[in-house]
Amino acid sequence: MHAIDDVVGGPALAQVRELRTPIPGPRSTEMLARKREAVADGVGITLPVFVDAAGGGIVRDIDGNSLIDLGSGIAVTSVGNAHPGVVAASAEQLGRFTHTAFTITGYEGYVAVCEALNRITPGDHAKRSALFNSGAEAVENAIKIARAATGRSTVVAFDHAYHGRTNLTMALTAKSMPYKRGFGPFAGDVHRAPMSYPFRDGRTGEEAARIAIERIERQVELDEIAAVIIEPIQGEGGFVVPADGFLPALADWAASHGIVFIADEIQTGFARTGEMFASTHFGIVPDLIVTAKGIAGGLPLSAVTGRAELMNAAHAGGLGGTYGGNPVACAAALASIAAFEDGLVERAREIGDIIRERLEALRATDPRVGDVRGHGAMMALELVDPVTGQPEAALTARAAAAAHAAGVIVLTCGTDGNVIRLLPPLSIGDDLLREGLDVLGDAIARG
Ligand SMILES: Cc1ncc(COP(=O)(O)O)c(C=O)c1O
């Protein structure tokens, strides 16, 4: 199709940042014009290049530019893009059968993924799992399960939360633009509580939990609450790491009132934070845990896993969907989980150490870097005005754009748009990671 020497993705892709054209190059620019004519405007593209191959820590575009990947397609390709084990397992499954609808005729892969999830998620109680397609769909199903199990309807979500773009998950999500504006009315029976945000509130976890619980108890009767849902480390909301003690206090309070505690580990799960699941950092064992993203190396799959008695509360036929737990996605998930268990949790910690060192050095010299936070390969910095402490969204956007122009994929996040988040694939090499961080450091310095 076009003249690029090596046309192989995965780890075989040369692990070097190289810009052959400005970003976007002529071929990507042509594709952007086609996109404008064919794709709905509501579907945006952050970094306007079109991809030819990806693997290791590199994404190569159709102009032959090799970019350092510090985003993993929003925390999805944790195992590495086009990971050989994932590719082989998926290809083998593709050659046997592509679909049956598990709820019509079963297949082993679905059961094996549920067995693996029951084994690797926190807690040694009896568990069951159910598989879906997207993160939002799994969140919706976790709420359905909690409602069926408790006979209650109300759900509590938190400030800065992001749970997806379907109707119920928009209601759970905190931020209006771009996720909610113009798309209401939203699902009812959702209440919001303040999140522990140590950089901004300076509170201990226990204090923040007390305030959150007081707020909830003023809004709604306790015996009407089916579930609280929370990201152990918030993703889109700004990589907010709650103060120690916050999540255990909430979980204890939920347990004492028969409220189902749901951890949304869609962004934090599968080795990303240097534990298989981020709940472990905080010493909590959620009743239900929602996963997606990193689970299947880039193929669409999501899951709800949890206490057997809760998971089994929904009647037969109440959970499912045509594609949920697609056999190819299940094969990819089994290969991914094998890779996560084969050293990638430790690798996430090493990556976290490298990133933290670099970001802390930035903070030491630049007062606009207000906070450095995260765990493992899920790290962020929050940019603020050093005098007023106000969020610096414009600087954040300029720094991200400069990094993109220099061939480094970084993502921003945060309710105020002033957080740069780093989510490299766990397959990235140390040198490439350090180079990407240097480029980001220069971009912020020049911003
Ligand atoms: C914590 C969290 N929950 C839910 C979702 C929604 O997942 P999906 O985009 O697969 O529907 C996301 C996606 O970014 C997420 O980060």
- Per-residue pLDDT tens digits of the chain, which is 447 residues long: 344 445 578 889 999 999 999 999 999 999 999 999 999 999 999 999 999 999 999 999 999 999 999 999 999 999 999 999 999 999 999 999 999 999 999 999 999 999 999 999 999 999 999 999 999 999 999 999 999 999 999 999 999 999 999 999 999 999 999 999 999 999 999 999 999 999 999 999 999 999 999 999 999 999 999 999 999 999 999 999 999 999 999 999 999 999 999 999 999 999 999 999 999 999 999 999 999 999 999 999 999 999 999 999 999 999 999 999 999 999 999 999 999 999 999 999 999 999 999 999 999 999 999 999 999 999 999 999 999 999 999 999 999 999 999 999 999 999 999 999 999 999 999 999 999 999 999 999 998
Distance from residue 98's CA to the centre of ligand 1 (Å): 25
140 lines ligand 1 (CB under 6 A): no
Cα distances from 57 to residues 2, 88, 115, 207, 426, in angstroms, run 22, 20, 31, 41, 8
Q: Is 265 in the pocket of ligand 1 (CB under 6 A)?
A: no
**Residue carrying the six token digits 């199709």:** 1
Q: Tell me what pLDDT residue 4 has.
A: 47
311: number of Cβ within 10 Å: 24
264 close to ligand 1 (CB < 6 Angstrom):
yes
Instruction: Tell which residue, 168, 147, 141, 144, has the closest CA to residue 157.
Output: 168
Which residue has a Cα nearest atom 10 of ligand 1? Answer: 135
Q: How far is the CA of 86 from the centre of ligand 1 (A)?
A: 22
pLDDT of residue 9: 82
| Number of Cβ within a 10 Å radius of residue 214 | 12
Q: How much distance in Å is there from the Cα of 361 to the middle of ligand 1? A: 31
Helices of type H across 240-317:
246-256, 308-311
Looking at ligand 1, which atom is closest to the CA of residue 265? 1
pLDDT at position 83:
97
What distance in Å separates the CA atoms of residue 265 and residue 262, rounded to the nearest whole number?
A: 9
Q: Whose CA is nearest to atom 3 of ligand 1?
A: 163
| Cα-to-centroid distance, 14 and ligand 1 (Å) | 31
What is the pLDDT, as a whole number, of residue 388? 97
CA separation (Å) from 192 to 159, 266, 299, 393? Answer: 6, 20, 32, 24
Q: Which of 173, 293, 302 to mutate to test the pocket of ligand 1 (most atoms within 8 A of CB)?
A: 293
- Secondary structure class of 50 (helix, strand, coil): coil
